[in-house]
Structure 1
């Protein structure tokens, strides 16, 4: 058994990556979830199975919250909960792109204490443990020190720049996009971008791991109003995400207000 929870998450991420990449170029059995919740493939389900087997097999007393598992309310009564997106960026996976990820987090009493995001096609493993910094493939990473919204490099979907969201004025920023929310958060943690935001309700499994990695890299992550991100909620969604270097986060939040 791995010596600590982060080691366990890393082992599980590699196991999921091995399973998911075996589906690349093959039959994906694409199906569409109810209520417009998006596609799911055989790779999503296979990765979910190996993650649950690896994680819960090692920590049977921990709760479980995954995009591809029926929700078990018993998780609400456990101190520790795994929060997992077995394959974040399923549409990218289906289209043959390589920026999909396995996003794996451990929550303790509502806060994330260990996290791993693995992009097997890019050989990029982002990790963090509470109080121990953030790393990419074992090398420490640090968020940028940007402070000006009008020159910031930002990851966001185009609708997030609609003037209705910005009473203080839409910033004249440099916008890029990645389908995976987990990867967006990781890229900000790495300092390749200065901020990311989404104003839509965000599923916990999309943002849990990236939130800790980004915070351990020195950035700030809140909901879209500046409120704290708390995890393992009865309805596992947060009120959007605003993540950025500290001074930039404050400046963006001022524009949003």
Structure 2
């Protein structure tokens, strides 16, 4: 019997971790992507090459979208697609920090159906399959139910600019940050943090896997206008993300200034 999509993603994520940790702390070669798209290391490229070979060999009919692979229209005509970030948190990886991850998802009809996010230096494997719950190292996880005034929200500093919030006033939550968007989502799914948000357009490979993991951990994940996230877009971005338990999600969304520019 062929292995499940989730088992395939988990196996691929562990292979990715073995490759990336071999480069970690060894001053890997770094280049800058065109157009100010950020750095890429030889580790990112080595992981991407392995994942493309390994996953596409197992599922040759699936489309392919990866941060480090050239995109094209072929995936748009496939039923299912791999959506991959070989290393999410490349800047953290370069800096020698440990909070980077491998983010792997499978999308069907615009929705994520299987996901794995792996942090090899912490040996944390977050997983989810649509309709079957979310897990961390095989143990079930759920989002917190914190109220707004007791919540800690993961986001980068530009998301906390007063102009983005109604009345130019930040809600009474605490602020925190982690480099990897995928890890931020998983930390919300685990209940270690109460919400995450990013108010700028977000690449699908950064958030696809984590979005399913939060949703299967009984959280709510939408764009900043409260609309469901749709994946495998021709231009593979969504207009930002809010992820939290249901009441907290509603409170955060209600306090955002809808006319404010994103950052």
TM-score tier after normalising by the smaller chain length: over 0.9
| Structure 2: runs of 5+ lacking an equivalent | 258-263
| Structure 1: runs of 5+ lacking an equivalent | none
Aligned partners of 1:167, 1:173: CA distance in 2, in Å? Answer: 15
Aligned partners of 1:136, 1:45: CA distance in 2, in Å? Answer: 27
Structure 2 counterpart of 1:183: 183
SS at match of 2:93: helix
Structure 2 counterpart of 1:49: 49
Query: What are the residue-to-residue correspondences of 1:30-45 with 2, within 5 Å?
Result: 30-45=30-45
Tell me the TM-score normalized by structure 1. Answer: 0.97
Query: What are the residue-to-residue correspondences of 1:223-238 with 2, within 5 Å?
Result: 223-238=223-238
Structure 1 counterpart of 2:64: 64
Is 1:134–1:214's contact at 8 Å kept on the other side of the alignment?
yes
**1:216 aligns to 2:213 (yes or no):** no
1:256 to partner: Cα distance: 1.1
1:161 to partner: Cα distance: 1.1
Structure 2 counterpart of 1:163: 162
Structure 2 counterpart of 1:150: 149
1:157 to partner: Cα distance: 1.0
Range moving further from structure 2, 21-30 or 3-12: 21-30
Tell me the TM-score normalized by structure 2. Answer: 0.95
Is 2:103–2:116's contact at 8 Å kept on the other side of the alignment?
yes
Structure 2 counterpart of 1:122: 122
1:67 to partner: Cα distance: 0.2
Aligned positions, number:
256
**1:93 aligns to 2:83 (yes or no):** no
Aligned partners of 1:25, 1:144: CA distance in 2, in Å? Answer: 34
Is 2:92–2:100's contact at 8 Å kept on the other side of the alignment?
yes
Aligned partners of 1:180, 1:195: CA distance in 2, in Å? Answer: 14
Aligned partners of 2:53, 2:6: CA distance in 1, in Å? Answer: 16
Aligned partners of 1:84, 1:165: CA distance in 2, in Å? Answer: 30
Is 1:2–1:8's contact at 8 Å kept on the other side of the alignment?
no
1:254 to partner: Cα distance: 0.8
Aligned partners of 2:7, 2:99: CA distance in 1, in Å? Answer: 23
Structure 1 counterpart of 2:261: none
1:24 to partner: Cα distance: 1.5
Aligned partners of 2:187, 2:27: CA distance in 1, in Å? Answer: 30
Residues 109 and 92 (structure 1), Cα distance of their counterparts in 2 relative to 1, 3 Å cut: same
Range moving further from structure 2, 159-168 or 61-70: 159-168
Range moving further from structure 2, 64-73 or 160-169: 160-169
RMSD: 1.0
SS at match of 2:104: strand
Aligned partners of 1:219, 1:193: CA distance in 2, in Å? Answer: 12
Is 2:27–2:94's contact at 8 Å kept on the other side of the alignment?
no
SS at match of 1:68: coil
Q: Which runs of 4+ in 1 moved over 4 A?
A: none
